[in-house]
Chains A and B, each alone.
Chain A
Amino acid sequence: MTRLSLSLILVIVGCAVACQRAEVSPVNMQTREVRDDLGRAVRVPQKIERAISLAPNLTEMIFALGAGDRLVGVTTYCNFPPGAASIEKIGDTQTPNIEKIIALRPQVVFVSTASQLEAFMQTLNEQSIAVYVTNPKTLDEVFENLIDLGDLLGSNRAAEELVASLAERAANVRQHAIAPTVPPDSSAAEPRVFVQISNEPLFTIGRDSFLTELIQQAGGVSVTKDVPSGYPKLSKETAAALDPDVIILSDSPDNQRPSAAFKDSKAVKIGRIHRINADIISRPGPRLVDALEEIKRMLHPGN
């Protein structure tokens, strides 16, 4: 009996000490105010030691900056780079586990869209955990994000070098993305590209997808660039009438072949069907430049 109550007391005291320590640490930190992509003022510590990423593109960016060791939590979708695998998982991007996030005692939580924010900003603010929102929609915005994140994480040098090298690769692609031997008005100069996200039902990219711009930079034109929204379900009748020169399949088990609607298209007849890693074309992060280079090789293999 005495032993039991003694151990109970020990547990309570232990908890009190531990809880106290958790509360004390952020107070001692020097903080500063920054603006995130939504223009919100966010107060973050001068030196960020513990951060959580709620999106795979953010995880990739933070690792690319050499700051992966600062991440104490990532989502189950965060499968790249390999180092992300050993980090604690806090659930997926849509349904993160808020208790787990708080238990990991992060100073900052990085989220990728405003929609994620609403759900738990208040709870996290009450725990004095900063929430920083990034929302890159173009390659240039990915570069801006890398600079901002570098500044936040104290990796300014690394960020500048990384962006310089990525920007150079992108410029190199743009330079070689036109075939010099063909007249600029022929279809070979600017192949008409259809990106198939899934076969049944038929989903593609629309006006608001960053891939539309990426294809443009790779020297092609997306045949669905004027369709409203980011990732529309497309009428098969329209798909059949589009007659693309090239079809790019987002590589997943249910998307290995072009839709039957394309059976008479130029792309199918001459066999210009390509597959591309679904992760690198769905995450606006550093590997978007890999995607750009790969798409350029598909559209203009010669140069």
Chain B
Amino acid sequence: MLLAISVGSERLSVFDLSDTQAAIFFDIRMPRVLLAACVGASLATAGASLQALLRNPLAEPYLLGVSNGAALGTMLAFVFFEQFVLARPVMAFAGAGLATAVVYQMARSRAGMNVERLVLSGVIVTTFLSSIIVLLTSLLDAARLRGFTFWLLGDLSQATMNGFYLTFAAAVTGTIVLTAQARPLNLMMIGERDALDFGVETGRVRLIVFGVSSLLVGTAVAASGSVGYVGLIVPHLVRLAIGSDNRLVVPVSAVAGSIFVVLADMVARTAIAPRELPVGAITALIGAPMFIYLLRRN
């Protein structure tokens, strides 16, 4: 975090700031790094819990179409309720929730839920939502939506302190609530029937995990677009390091996710400075090969 805050397209010395440098540091760099941390925590926590709940290592908000649901919600909010700042996260949450519900219903079968079915359902929902997004961008005024093409790939350059507060609140609440569900999730990983025998209300746990992860993904996407693969890479690395007890995996993923997105965005900010890359391109560059590796190992 300290590293990320000290690096940027402009060189600053923390101990000797002119007015302009102070403005760059406090108004531009700080909100961006803080927002990156919250977005990373939200996506990684949502990914970790979804993987535990669905007993599926490839469950990830971006791959399941949840991020695209949130993106479409944000876009509709921008088109129809431009003047209401809160409409974007609210609609993003709704979109994420709806996409989650659809994918879950599609992936479920009498025989249970296997990896292929879930990933395929995710692909279908993702591409369907993408096509609606493309359709909207072609139908609507091009100049007005120009920013969206960049934003869709994940873009943290629009960070403000106000945007940060909301994402921060969601990330902290979400991580606490999901960590509280870690014990039932541990039991459900053994098997839903076993979990029922131990007195776990599986229906309630499922509702909480789906609801809260939709909230986390919704606020993260509304603030920064679709930053992909964070929910995949981070929980896996965490499990490799500390084992698969969700009571640890969920909160540690939140911390590791923050660090990951902060570092990825640092690359996006500085690699071709003074120009910028979309942060989603960096995370996908690392995440896609990892996805292939996990798929093969399964």
Residues of A within 8 A of B (CB): 198, 200-202, 206, 224, 227-229, 232-238, 240-241, 243, 252-254, 260-261, 263-264, 278
- B20 interface neighbour in A198, A228, A236, A241, Cβ under 8 Å: A241
Query: Is A233 a contact of B28 with CB atoms below 8 Å?
Result: no
Query: Is A238 a contact of B146 with CB atoms below 8 Å?
Result: no
Name the A residues within 8 Å of B28 (CB-CB).
236-237, 240, 261
* Chain B 249-282 interface residues, beta-carbon cutoff 8 Å to A: 269, 272-276
Name the B residues within 8 Å of A224 (CB-CB).
274
A-B contact pairs, 9 of them (CB 8 A): A198-B146, A201-B155, A201-B157, A237-B10, A237-B269, A238-B9, A252-B143, A253-B141, A278-B143
Once the chains are docked, how many angstroms separate the CA of A224 from the CA of B9? 14
With known contacts A200-B147, A201-B155, A238–B10 Cβ distance under 8 A:
yes
Q: Whose C-beta in chain B lies nearest to the C-beta of A197?
A: B146
Name the A residues within 8 Å of B158 (CB-CB).
200-201
- Contact mask for chain B residues 1-41; partner A; CB cutoff 8 A; 1 contact, 0 none: 00000001110000000011101100111000000000000
Query: Is B8 a contact of A254 with CB atoms below 8 Å?
Result: no
Chain A nearest Cβ from B243, distance in angstroms: 40
- Contact mask for chain B residues 129-164; partner A; CB cutoff 8 A; 1 contact, 0 none: 000000000000101101100110001011010000
Query: Is A229 a contact of B275 with CB atoms below 8 Å?
Result: yes
Query: Is B143 a contact of A227 with CB atoms below 8 Å?
Result: no
Name the B residues within 8 Å of A254 (CB-CB).
143-144, 146-147
Once the chains are docked, how many angstroms separate the CA of A238 from the CA of B28? 10
- A234 interface neighbour in B27, B29, B141, B276, Cβ under 8 Å: B276
6 closest Cβ pairs, A-B complex = A238-B274, A235-B9, A232-B275, A237-B10, A252-B143, A236-B28
- A233 interface neighbour in B141, B160, B275, Cβ under 8 Å: B275
Name the A residues within 8 Å of B150 (CB-CB).
201, 233
Once the chains are docked, how many angstroms separate the CA of A264 from the CA of B22? 11
Name the B residues within 8 Å of A227 (CB-CB).
274-275
- B147 interface neighbour in A201, A206, A237, A241, Cβ under 8 Å: A201
Name the A residues within 8 Å of B21 (CB-CB).
241
Query: Is B29 a contact of A237 with CB atoms below 8 Å?
Result: yes
Query: Is A264 a contact of B144 with CB atoms below 8 Å?
Result: no
Name the A residues within 8 Å of B8 (CB-CB).
235, 237
With known contacts A198-B146, A241-B10, A278-B143, A233–B20 Cβ distance under 8 A:
no
A235, A260, A261 interface centre (most CB from chain B within 10 Å)? A235
Once the chains are docked, how many angstroms separate the CA of A159 from the CA of B150? 41
Name the A residues within 8 Å of B269 (CB-CB).
235, 237
Query: Is B27 a contact of A233 with CB atoms below 8 Å?
Result: no
With known contacts A198-B146, A264-B19, A241–B24 Cβ distance under 8 A:
yes
10 further A-B pairs in the complex, CB-CB below 8 A; given A240-B20, A252-B144? A200-B147, A200-B158, A227-B275, A233-B276, A235-B273, A235-B275, A238-B9, A252-B143, A253-B141, A261-B28
Name the A residues within 8 Å of B272 (CB-CB).
228
A227, A240, A264 interface centre (most CB from chain B within 10 Å)? A240
Chain A nearest Cβ from B150, distance in angstroms: 5
Q: Whose C-beta in chain B lies nearest to the C-beta of A206?
A: B275
Q: Whose C-beta in chain B lies nearest to the C-beta of A233?
A: B276
Once the chains are docked, how many angstroms separate the CA of A198 from the CA of B151? 13
Name the A residues within 8 Å of B141 (CB-CB).
253
Chain B nearest Cβ from A85, distance in angstroms: 18
Name the B residues within 8 Å of A238 (CB-CB).
9-10, 273-274
Once the chains are docked, how many angstroms separate the CA of A236 from the CA of B269? 10
Once the chains are docked, how many angstroms separate the CA of A243 from the CA of B18? 13
Once the chains are docked, how many angstroms separate the CA of A234 from the CA of B20? 17
Query: Is B151 a contact of A201 with CB atoms below 8 Å?
Result: yes
B19, B146, B151, B275 interface centre (most CB from chain A within 10 Å)? B275
Name the B residues within 8 Å of A233 (CB-CB).
150, 157, 275-276
Query: Is A202 a contact of B143 with CB atoms below 8 Å?
Result: no
Query: Is A263 a contact of B23 with CB atoms below 8 Å?
Result: yes
Chain A nearest Cβ from B131, distance in angstroms: 16
Q: Whose C-beta in chain A lies nearest to the C-beta of B270?
A: A235
Q: Whose C-beta in chain A lies nearest to the C-beta of B32?
A: A236
B19, B151, B157, B160 interface centre (most CB from chain A within 10 Å)? B157
Name the B residues within 8 Å of A235 (CB-CB).
8-10, 157, 269, 273-276
Once the chains are docked, how many angstroms separate the CA of A5 from the CA of B9? 76
Once the chains are docked, how many angstroms separate the CA of A227 from the CA of B143? 23
Q: Whose C-beta in chain A lies nearest to the C-beta of B268?
A: A235
Name the B residues within 8 Å of A232 (CB-CB).
274-275
Name the B residues within 8 Å of A243 (CB-CB).
20
Once the chains are docked, how many angstroms separate the CA of A252 from the CA of B141? 11
With known contacts A228-B275, A232-B275, A235-B276, A240–B23 Cβ distance under 8 A:
yes
Q: Whose C-beta in chain B lies nearest to the C-beta of A202?
A: B157
Q: Whose C-beta in chain B lies nearest to the C-beta of A278?
A: B143
